[in-house]
Structure 1
Amino acid sequence: MAADRDAGFGGLLRRCRLVAGYSQQDLADRAGLSVDAVAALERGRRRTPRAFTVRVLADALSLDESGRRALVDAATAVDAGHAGGPARPPAPFGPLVGRDEESDAIVAALSPDRGRQVALRDGRDRLVTLTGPGGVGKTQLALTVAHRLTDVFPGGIGWAALAALDDPAALGHAVAAAAGLRAVPGRSVEDSLVGELASRTMLLVLDNCEHLVAACALLVERLLAGTSGLCILATSRERLRLGAERVWPVPTLAAPDPGLAGGDVADSPAVRLFVRRARQLVPDFTLDAGDTPAVAHICQQLDGIPLALELAAARTNVLTVRQIAAGLDDSSTATGSRSAPSRHRTLRSTIEWSHDLLTHEERQGLRQLAVFAGGWTLAAATAVCSAIGDERRALTLTSSLVEKSLAVTHPTFEGRYFLLFTVRRYALDRLRDSGEQRALEVAHARYVADLAERAEPRLYGGEQQEWLRRLDSELGNVRAALGWTRQERDRIGVRIAGALWRYCYLTGRYGEGRDWLDGALAGSAEGAHVAKALLGSGVLAFLQCDYDVATDRIEAALERYRREGDDRGVAEARQRLGSVARERGDYPRSRRLHEESLAHWRAAGDAARTAESLNYLGYVAWLTRDFDRTEELCEETLSTFRALDDGEGVTWALLNLGATAVYRGRGELADRLLRESLGRSYDIGFADGVAWSLNMLGVLARRTGDRDRAWELLAESLERHVELGDGWRAASVFEELAATVVDTRPTLAARLLGAAARLHTVTMARRPPVEEADHKATVTACTAALGEDAYEEQHVIGRTGPQADLVRQVRAGGPT
């Protein structure tokens, strides 16, 4: 695994620096800063850069107005400061009321000893579980603690929101995403997590574990056993029951004693929270002598449970506090299982009371909105929920639920809303009781399928970036819909997964995409969308160098397309088989298949796909050292892709032309083309493009004698290729790293060459002719430096030792 390090201020700063072509020392010199200061900012060790620092960095990078604004926004954002990939915790929902002592104590428990920033104090503090009934404020407390610990964990803080996750089998992927990691092909996600986190000092927060408590316990136990610097903060209604666990019961807020005077009542934490929420709705709300007893009674009746208090206070714009108190009295005697713990009964009674005060349309809308696992937009609610009808009514209903504290706005994606965990669970119970659940799940899956199919053609061309972000926001719903279709063996799953394989390709979700496609295909062997799903499964397998599976899947898709008379599908499948042949070193077959596809696209008048086929042919020409042909083809495709505003296509054309310029010794041209390729890849979130651009910029730096810059670029490229599962390119980068250090660290060079040899053997991917001369020269130099016996000994170590250890050594080291 490797972290996605492109988010936050530090990630954006690194990205701007690499695109500008500067080393950390270059940027430090231009900005008048120390190189340590630049490194600290990029790694997130300095959480909030000063305005002056941001300004001089923007000047040094020669950023345009939009670039400067992006850098300033990242510096001032709430979650700025971590360059690393962990999914940073969202902002707390508001100020923490009545929890200062608990917050201080938990921060102390999870903090290292004073003066020892990396080492932990002992095993007992590596796992803290905040326990308590629903609505008691565990999430809010965890959010506050996580933000306070931002500067304590150099490896970052990952936030895994598990409330919407219903499938225990998906837990590992969710936690990996929270840590900014993805599974390494050929290893389980759990093994990948342990391997990557073994040497990192970070805090992982698992929020809402109770419905997955057994799976969470198994995963946490494994993570703690396999790592030394990882701390875990969990929230759950019940403890995980692990030996290393420090259980931290979260108390309710102190409610006032019945005999207290008015001023003392107002100082009670429960009353303070009630009044704060009431004033959000009624700005002139005051706690006068006549209302004080009623508010005190409300707080006592609700056991000081924060969510219950907020639900009650949300009614102060339509009811007096005396009416609220009376209504709660009635509700507490009429609802709730007497066998449940009292505070669970209290919260459920309060949710029930809030629910009963809704109109019929609001109650129906609330339970139907519970089908959304990843939140909803107004358009989504309109499409799925029969109770809503149109977007105007969706806005009215959603606004009402937000006002009543039953729904909240999404902390990350604008225009999205979601139900709090406890409220959604209650609403799902209501949905099941209503007899509407099956119809809503079908409608939800169809909505996701329609969205995926609308997105599919828009993942080419000028709308690409917008739709990638939109699909990012819908991931929770995509996963929920695919989970339901897999369980029900419903064919809608094939529609969803088949339409989203390109999204998984562009964003680097190769492993998860294959899981989606294979799960969907297992439940539907026939149907109109099976060929597309087979093709997508084959492409993602190819991208992870699983060539036999890729060939089988793509050939199965090709056969179906032929039977169905789908000429476009036939051309697409041939194109992909041409790519498999290319990486296996069968260049004549690759050319023939790409040329067959090209003939179809030209006959069909499809400019974008014609350019794509020409670009593939240019790629084959570069790999086989036919540089004139590469330039002829890819200059044409670059013009076409620019006219179509196709970010991915422009990136590949630039890469082919830039790589050709590298090997022709045209350094300035190569640098310009490859830095543009890198910038465009970052802009659209194109994972493979970023990895490739860094790779070729590293080759250029090595060939022009900038050993330090070459090492930085190649080391990051290696991490990204390994993360994606692209063993073919990882092997190439290992060999380039070896060439970079063969004169200064020949022992390491021999091990790097051994690691590359293993990848070539495992993947059966052939080293392309364009790289043969450099590889031969590196082996010759390394053998001369070490002697044949020592070279073979170190080569074997690299060939047989753990790849993850060598990747970490590359990450931590340097060329000298």
Structure 2
Amino acid sequence: MIAAARALWDTWPDQIPAPGSLPPGSRLSASFAPNPLFGGRDAALAEAAAGLKRGDGMVISPGPLLTGCGGIGKTQLAIELAYRYGQFFAGGVFWLSCDSPEALPAEIASCGAGLDLAPNYAALPLDQQLAQVASRWQDGRPCLVVFDNCEDPGLFRQWRPRHGDVRVIVTSRRRDWPLDLGFAALPLDHLARVDSIALLRRFRPVLTEAEADSIADVLGDLPLALHLAGSYLRRYQTPAAAYCAALERADPLAHHSLKVGEPTPTGHDVDVARTFAVSLDRLDPADPVNALARAILTHASWCAPGEPVPLWLLARALDRDEAGAEEWGEALARLDDAGLIERGEDTLRLHRLIAAFARPLSADTVADRIETAAASVAFQQNKIGLPGPLLAWQVHLRHLADQADRRQSLSAAPLLNNLGVHLRQISDLSGARGASERALRIAEAVYGLNHPHVAACINNLGSVLQDLCDLSGARAAFERALRIDEAFYGPKHPEVARDVNNLGSVLQDLGDLLEARAAYERALQISESVYGLDHPQVAACINNIGACSWGLGDLSGAQAAFERALRLDEAAYGPDHPKVAIRVNNLGGALRRQGDLSGARLAYERALRIDEAIYGLDHPRVATDVNNLGEVLRAQGELLGARAAFERALRIDEAVYGPDHPEVARDVNNLGSVLQDLGDLLEARAAFERALAICIRFLPPDHPHLRIVKSNLAALGLAGQHRED
């Protein structure tokens, strides 16, 4: 008999088999049948089956541990494993529910009812029944035992089969199990979107893919929620758009479809929120660590659902300086054990429906704290000037800003304002404009028209308008901000220096270099009096004065200004900061104009290395570096290299600004110059004419850039006549 059982084991297939009948004597609830709607879990089935197969010849091979939040499909997968692979366990398949730990001994004893044990088995005392089952499980025939909903490793350790050729599956919300138990953990995630769509359309075939996709998105692809939603749509034939809108209007877990529905194939509770409450109830708030765990959960629930939340952000909101402390780590472990979070190295992630479940458990003060913390950190990171750190959690900044706007929170304006600054840094100019305009509207409504917070929003919007080449709009914004801050702070405040400096920059773009220089010099005077002579803010003013000196023909003065600004910023930021790249770039320009081509080339190459490392390969600052390097290459006679540089700069700027922007005109004009050098006069003329059309559209008639393009086009006409003669 044992040999026959082993021979059956040896027929284990390489491919996933169809569901089959269970061996005689098996114990599996009659309500647990193969699910005709089961799908999307082939990879998990194969991995779990491999875990069962591994360890042939060992005393015990526990096999896979199926973990995940409530409703993720752990029990369903175990049922499918039992029906698809149970046929290869000649000793039988035995299902043990661990929902009630004190009832587990009786569950094990019930496994003997269908086995060929003692004739008077049913009349035996419990301990003798347990001994009979244990003896049967250790007789050498392969058996499969499922511990369903086992959350306590101690309970499993107490009642696990200890001898015989037994394979074990455990389903649990807990992910972290002792290593000595030998489990091959198999964390289950939500369904892939394509499988969620397929499941919904099996319930309601008239759903379009787009409709099913929208519903699956709201439900976070959670199998239990999808089953209940599909049953609801099939029963009531509710239009998909109306159903989806109803879910999005309020808490989706409060919708009838996710609270009372058709029975599930696993007999699972059809109230999704109650499924999550089972996990939360394990965290008694009377315990300080559990109270902290609940606080972490509720604060995280306000962040973008389904996205990794940085632990430092939660620690900041909870005013905990030492996020790595033992109590903090234990609180996270308990949330993980309860299946309420998915823990990463420095993050945690909530399923969107768990977030929806946890959010109403918190007071408004929780939302206020996480929003305030996010706004504060965003401001600090924007001030440093490196977009990478904020980019890593930008999704949460966006979500919190939108949420604060809906809640009419005082944090809405600073969140949106800082989002706009960040988006401008990464050259999402349309996004930056939208965020900045929203921030300004909210700030005006909250603080009135003449408050410094309003001036800050106006300033940031003005910078975006300047980047978009709405120079009149930018000038008006900076002038308004200046009026507000002068009235509030007086004429010699740092905020006034900021406004004056920004106004100088737009005057420079408009070609009014004398007025721009006067503005920069006023900003410098204020900054030096407030910060001293060696502050980065002073460096910015000096740099801008150098740019005006350059435009006015004072190249040596410009070089001296750029060199001083560079020294200050290198001392403040180190050698590889984007502000340093700006100073190096400007210094390269002064060197190039004075004939030091090798010095200019080294400067431009250094600026390019810094900006590519910070912003990536397709940022406008990189385009500026590449364009400037192209000018040096052209002056050094490397015409093909120059052409490649100008073409790369043009591709970047067209992608960011569109086809009609002064930065694009600069690139096109320079490309025309090198095409002229290469003898391609027709293409050169087309480039100059395109650059001229852009400049006429955006720049004043006496702007120096416009004069340069006109001069190039006129010179090309003379060159063409000479060649024709």
Q: TM-score w.r.t. structure 1 length?
A: 0.54
The answer to whether the Cα contact below 8 Å between 2:92 and 2:144 also exists between their aligned partners in 1 is: no
**Match of residue 602 from structure 1:** 528
Q: d(CA) in 2 for partners of 1:690 and 1:267?
A: 67
1:694 and 2:626 are equivalent in the alignment: yes
The answer to whether the Cα contact below 8 Å between 1:698 and 1:710 also exists between their aligned partners in 2 is: yes
1:657 and 2:597 are equivalent in the alignment: no
1:118-157 map, 5 Å = none
Q: d(CA) in 2 for partners of 1:388 and 1:696?
A: 45
- Shift in alpha-carbon separation, 1:585–1:654, aligned structure 2, 3 A: same
| 1:761 aligns with one of 690, 696, 699 | 696
1:752 and 2:613 are equivalent in the alignment: no
**Match of residue 638 from structure 2:** 706
**Match of residue 443 from structure 1:** 369
- Give secondary structure in 2 for the equivalent of 1:523: helix
Q: d(CA) in 2 for partners of 1:340 and 1:634?
A: 73
Q: d(CA) in 2 for partners of 1:478 and 1:265?
A: 56
1:622 and 2:550 are equivalent in the alignment: yes
Q: Which runs of 5+ in 2 are unaligned?
A: 1-13, 18-35, 46-71, 97-135, 151-168, 183-226, 228-256
1:3-402 map, 5 Å = 255-258=80-83, 261=86, 263=88, 293-295=144-146, 311-312=172-173, 314=175, 337-339=259-261, 342=264, 348=272, 351-360=276-285, 361=290, 362-363=293-294, 365-373=296-304, 374-384=307-317, 392=325, 393-402=327-336
Deviations 1:611-637 (A, max 9, x none): 211211211222344322211221222
| 1:640 aligns with one of 568, 582, 601 | 568
The answer to whether the Cα contact below 8 Å between 2:685 and 2:713 also exists between their aligned partners in 1 is: no
| 2:472 aligns with one of 541, 548, 560 | 548
The answer to whether the Cα contact below 8 Å between 2:479 and 2:499 also exists between their aligned partners in 1 is: yes
Q: d(CA) in 2 for partners of 1:762 and 1:418?
A: 49
Report the AA paired with residue 633 of structure 2.
Answer: A
Deviations 1:278-323 (A, max 9, x none): xxxxxxxxxx958955428779xxxxxxxx98754638669x99xx
The answer to whether the Cα contact below 8 Å between 1:739 and 1:778 also exists between their aligned partners in 2 is: no
1:651-690 map, 5 Å = 651-685=581-615, 687-690=619-622
The answer to whether the Cα contact below 8 Å between 1:625 and 1:769 also exists between their aligned partners in 2 is: no
**Match of residue 12 from structure 1:** none
Q: d(CA) in 1 for partners of 2:404 and 2:281?
A: 33
| 2:352 aligns with one of 424, 427, 440 | 424
The answer to whether the Cα contact below 8 Å between 1:545 and 1:763 also exists between their aligned partners in 2 is: yes
**Structure 1 residue 351 displacement after superposition:** 4.6
Report the AA paired with residue 444 of structure 1.
Answer: I
- Shift in alpha-carbon separation, 1:731–1:317, aligned structure 2, 3 A: same
- Shift in alpha-carbon separation, 1:295–1:655, aligned structure 2, 3 A: same
Report the AA paired with residue 555 of structure 1.
Answer: E
- Give secondary structure in 2 for the equivalent of 1:665: coil
| 2:506 aligns with one of 577, 580, 600 | 580
**Match of residue 13 from structure 1:** none
- Shift in alpha-carbon separation, 1:773–1:389, aligned structure 2, 3 A: closer
Identity %: 16
Which stretch of structure 1 is more off in the superposition, 348-357 or 667-676? 348-357
**Structure 1 residue 431 displacement after superposition:** 2.4
- Give secondary structure in 2 for the equivalent of 1:524: helix
Q: d(CA) in 2 for partners of 1:757 and 1:549?
A: 22
Q: d(CA) in 1 for partners of 2:650 and 2:473?
A: 24
- Shift in alpha-carbon separation, 1:729–1:621, aligned structure 2, 3 A: farther
Q: d(CA) in 2 for partners of 1:767 and 1:786?
A: 27
**Match of residue 403 from structure 2:** 484
- Shift in alpha-carbon separation, 1:665–1:520, aligned structure 2, 3 A: same
1:590 and 2:516 are equivalent in the alignment: yes
Which stretch of structure 1 is more off in the superposition, 358-367 or 511-520? 358-367
The answer to whether the Cα contact below 8 Å between 2:368 and 2:409 also exists between their aligned partners in 1 is: no
Report the AA paired with residue 530 of structure 1.
Answer: V
**Match of residue 408 from structure 1:** 342
**Match of residue 455 from structure 1:** 381
Q: d(CA) in 2 for partners of 1:757 and 1:259?
A: 73
Q: d(CA) in 2 for partners of 1:99 and 1:552?
A: 70
1:504-583 map, 5 Å = 504-525=423-444, 526=447, 527-565=451-489, 567-583=493-509
Q: d(CA) in 1 for partners of 2:38 and 2:513?
A: 61
Which stretch of structure 1 is more off in the superposition, 665-674 or 356-365? 356-365
**Structure 1 residue 735 displacement after superposition:** 0.4
- Shift in alpha-carbon separation, 1:577–1:309, aligned structure 2, 3 A: farther
The answer to whether the Cα contact below 8 Å between 2:626 and 2:648 also exists between their aligned partners in 1 is: yes
- Give secondary structure in 2 for the equivalent of 1:610: helix
- Shift in alpha-carbon separation, 1:391–1:674, aligned structure 2, 3 A: same
Q: d(CA) in 2 for partners of 1:427 and 1:748?
A: 58
Report the AA paired with residue 482 of structure 1.
Answer: A
1:777-792 map, 5 Å = 777=712, 779-781=714-716, 784-785=719-720
**Structure 1 residue 336 displacement after superposition:** 6.5
- Give secondary structure in 2 for the equivalent of 1:519: helix
**Match of residue 50 from structure 2:** none
1:462-473 map, 5 Å = 464-465=385-386, 468-473=387-392
1:731 and 2:662 are equivalent in the alignment: no
**Structure 1 residue 400 displacement after superposition:** 3.2
The answer to whether the Cα contact below 8 Å between 1:561 and 1:569 also exists between their aligned partners in 2 is: yes
Report the AA paired with residue 314 of structure 1.
Answer: R
Deviations 1:576-624 (A, max 9, x none): 1111111111111111111111121222225322221121121122234
- Give secondary structure in 2 for the equivalent of 1:529: helix
Q: d(CA) in 2 for partners of 1:649 and 1:760?
A: 28
Larger radius of gyration: 2
Q: Which runs of 5+ in 1 are unaligned?
A: 1-97, 102-131, 142-236, 238-250, 272-287, 300-307, 322-331, 791-816
Q: d(CA) in 1 for partners of 2:561 and 2:721?
A: 43
**Structure 1 residue 542 displacement after superposition:** 0.8
- Give secondary structure in 2 for the equivalent of 1:417: strand
Q: TM-score w.r.t. structure 2 length?
A: 0.60
Which stretch of structure 1 is more off in the superposition, 599-608 or 289-298? 289-298
Report the AA paired with residue 470 of structure 1.
Answer: P
- Shift in alpha-carbon separation, 1:755–1:417, aligned structure 2, 3 A: farther
The answer to whether the Cα contact below 8 Å between 2:149 and 2:171 also exists between their aligned partners in 1 is: no
Deviations 1:766-789 (A, max 9, x none): 78648855762455326754999x
Q: d(CA) in 2 for partners of 1:750 and 1:385?
A: 63
**Structure 1 residue 356 displacement after superposition:** 4.2
**Structure 1 residue 262 displacement after superposition:** 6.9
- Shift in alpha-carbon separation, 1:316–1:713, aligned structure 2, 3 A: same
Report the AA paired with residue 523 of structure 1.
Answer: I
- Shift in alpha-carbon separation, 1:769–1:528, aligned structure 2, 3 A: closer
The answer to whether the Cα contact below 8 Å between 1:619 and 1:630 also exists between their aligned partners in 2 is: yes
Q: d(CA) in 1 for partners of 2:459 and 2:44?
A: 44
Matched residues, number: 502
Q: d(CA) in 2 for partners of 1:663 and 1:582?
A: 19
**Match of residue 722 from structure 1:** 654
The answer to whether the Cα contact below 8 Å between 2:174 and 2:337 also exists between their aligned partners in 1 is: no
